[in-house]
Each structure stands twice: as structure tokens, then as C-alpha cells.
Amino acid sequence: MAIQRDEDKLAIYRDPAVAARYDERWAGASGQRRESRMRAALERALASFGPAASVLDAPCGAGRLSAWLSERGVRYLGVDAAFPMLVEARRKCAAPLAAGDLARLPLRDGAVDVAVCIRLMHLVREVQLRHAFLRELARVARRGVVVDYLQAESLKVWYANARSAVGLRDHAPSAFTRDAIRSEFEAAGLEVLAFEALRRPNWLSDKVVVVARPRGARSS
């Protein structure tokens, strides 16, 4: 089976039916536990920059984090390339939302204190596109960026790779070692400050939240 192109994969989220069902994956006890772990990791990541006045959430999707982030007492802006996702996000949050491509964000340089990018990079296999996304986040964020990745050092990813190797899965997951993640961030002009795993020990967590700042940015 051919691996789906990134542009086709991301276009799925422009389907209103997909957008309407998107947040169902965090329903139920298991989904709520995963969401709680993500929010805890984000709390730790955001604390690295001290009090922030403004936060960009890109892509904001169907508003998974919009209300939670906007209720932190910051100026919140959600950006997504899929208009149906923005329609769903509006149901959850009255804060500003905008349509925009993460490779060309409709924001000036240093427009926000912190840029958050959750649940995107594992969908993007093209290294040039990942670098373009990271460069844009670095451009618009004065103090730092927070991005989640699939990390290779996890039991779940190891199992998925093994299934792929014997033909039980059509492709291996788009997961990276921490050294590889650090290299991607450095190529985009970002300095990695910390990795926040969602679970302990580290090998139980397939996701890791990367905390970084634009090169030359001052510490909080």
C-alpha cells in the first residue's frame, strides 16, 4: 500500500464530517486519561517560559485545547488551515480564531509570547515541511515554542515498527529519537530546552512535548 502524501493526509481534516467527530477520540475513560497526561505535560512546558501574555495554538483543530488555553488568562489565538475544524472550535471557545497555513502564518514576527503546536508533526513525513512549520513557529514566538512529537524511544513505537517490518502494518510510524528532534529544531533556529514525556518511565510514552526557544531569545 502506498504511503499517503502529507498534503492528502492533512486535507482529510477539511471534511466537515471528520471535523465533527474529531474530538471523539478523547471521549471515554481512556481518552480522558490521555488528555489529562497531555495537559499536564503542557502545563510543565508552558511553565518553562514563566507567565505568558499571549499564546498561539496552531493548528487548533476542533478546539481540543482552545478553551483550556484561553482560560489561563492569556490572549489566545487559534489558527488552522481547515475551516470545518475552526467551525467546531468556535463551539468550544469565544477567543479569536483564524484560517491560516502553518507554513505561512498570518502573523508578524514576534506576534505572541508562546506558540503551541500539538498533534501535527507525526502526520508530516516530509522533512522540508516539518522544518517550514518549525521556522514559522520560531518566527512568530518571542519567547518559546511547544511542539509534540512521536518519540522512537517508546514501547508502542517499537511494537508498531516491528509490525511494519513483518507486513502487519502498511508503514512505520513517523517517530524520532530525541537527538533527531533536537537536530530538526536546531535547523529551524530553535534551541531545545526540555523534553516532557507524557508518561513515566520514558519508554511508556509514545509522545513527547518539546520545549524550545528561538535562538537568541532571552530566558524568562
Domain of 78 in residue numbering reads as 6-22+32-214
- Asked if the structure places residue 142 within a domain, the reply is yes
Full pLDDT tens readout for the chain, 220 residues: 334 455 666 678 889 999 999 888 888 888 889 899 999 999 999 999 999 999 999 999 999 999 899 888 899 999 999 999 999 999 988 999 999 999 999 999 999 999 999 999 988 989 999 999 999 999 999 999 999 999 988 888 888 888 888 887 888 888 899 999 999 999 999 999 999 999 888 888 889 999 999 987 765 5
Assess if residue 59 is contained within a domain. yes
- 58: domain CATH number? 3.40.50.150
* Residue 187 covered by a domain: yes
- From 90, 42, 93, 36, select the one nearest 67 (Cα to Cα): 93
Q: Which is nearest to 144 in space by CA: 102, 191, 176?
A: 191
Position 183 in a domain: yes
C-alpha cell at 40: 499536564
Tally of structural domains, the chain: 1
Question: For residue 11, is it within any domain?
Answer: yes
Let me know if residue 220 belongs to a domain. Answer: no
Q: Is residue 219 part of a domain?
A: no
For the CA atoms of the chain, what is the radius of gyration?
Answer: 17
In a domain, 1, yes or no: no
- Predicted TM-score (pTM) of the model is 0.90
